[in-house]
Amino acid sequence: MKPASLFAYPAATICLILAASAESRPFSAILKSFHIFDSQSPLRLHNPFASGMPPTDDTVSTGVIISDVIGKTQSIAIFSGLTRDIDTVSGRLDDASKNATVLAPDNSVMRSLTRKPWEDPEDYNSFGADAYSGKDGEDRAHRNLRRFVESHIVPESPWEEGKKVQTLAGNEVWWESKEGKKTIQPGDVEVTSIADKVLNGEVWIIEGSLA
Ligand SMILES: *[C@@H]1O[C@H](CO)[C@@H](O)[C@H](O)[C@H]1NC(C)=O
């Protein structure tokens, strides 16, 4: 993993993160050592006039794979940025021979997480306020972030209703449809739309986080 791109959050998000975690000073110290404004940021590449609406046709695009399309949906830009920073996940989404269903929390979910995807309350218990300082802290943050992202990747597609599968992180999930709504279980997390259907799987936009 390339540490420099780990926290390649869009500028507006960084402000929100810093505002939301003003008390966790160690993390803002980490941020300074990263290149926050990575030129690869999906927000920078995206067309400001695009609506962010998912494509509506149901056809599977030939030859196109998840890694080609996941960065194009504006409403999941934060999550899709993270998928590129985790080697196990970016490798999987870039492999045409391995299918996946990506359960991508939308940007508003990512912004309002009660703890940041690289934080684990246990780390604060064990290591105190400096949990994410220094080399060990950085490794801890990477590990937590990896677990967060992997817990949103279902290693199969098509994925049948009701079929219990383990995500790449090992947590068991399945989906149900009730009154025309698809929900991810456990947790009743609503699937708001399917952003992409491509050769090696699908990208579903979800209204909550699974980790
Ligand atoms: C992978 O996904 C494609 C497209 O949906 C499907 O045709 C194919 O059968 C899937 N392969 C496996 C092994 O599930």
Residue 50 lies in a domain: no
Atom 13 (ligand 1): residue with closest C-alpha?
99
∠ CA 36-37-43, nearest 5°, is 120
Render pLDDT for 9-50 as a digit per residue (tens, 0 to 9). 444 444 444 333 333 334 443 343 333 333 333 333 333 334
How far is ligand 1, taken at its centre, from the CA of residue 142, in Å?
A: 31
Q: Report the C-alpha gap between 177 and 197 in whole angstroms.
A: 19
Nearest 5°: phi and psi at 84? -75, -20
Q: Is 136 helix (H, G, I), strand (E, B) or coil?
A: helix
What tens digit of pLDDT does each residue of 119-147 get? 999 999 999 999 999 999 999 999 999 99
CA 70 / ligand 1 centre spacing (Å)? 18
155 Cα to the center of ligand 1, angstroms: 11
Determine, yes or no, domain membership for 99: yes
Q: Structural domain tally of the chain?
A: 1
Domain assignment of residue 52, yes or no? no
d(CA 10, CA 41): 6
182-to-72, 167, 206 alpha-carbon distances in Å:
23, 18, 10
Pocket test for ligand 1, best of 61, 98, 99 (most atoms within 8 A of CB): 99
For residue 99 and ligand 1, the question of a CB distance below 6 A is answered with yes
Structural domain contains residue 211: no
Distance 199 CA to ligand 1 centre (A): 7
Contact status, residue 102 vs residue 68, Cβ threshold 8 Å: no
Residue 200 located in a structural domain: yes
Pocket test for ligand 1, best of 157, 163, 196 (most atoms within 8 A of CB): 157
What's 179's domain CATH number? 2.30.180.10
Is 79 domain-assigned?
yes
- What gap in Å lies between CA 69 and CA 42, rounded to an integer? 11
For 164, what's the count of Cα atoms within 13 Å in the CB-facing half-sphere? 4
Q: Is residue 51 part of a domain?
A: no
Domain with 148, as residue range(s), is 3-45+57-206
Q: Ligand 1 centroid to 99 CA: how many Å?
A: 6
**How is residue 97 written in tokens?**
């021979």
Q: pLDDT-derived band of residue 89, with 50, 70 and 90 as boundaries?
A: very high
pTM over 0.85: no
Measure the CA–CA gap between 3 and 102, rounded to whole angstroms. 23
- Whether 109 is in a domain gets the answer yes
Q: What is the mean pLDDT of residues 93-117?
A: 96
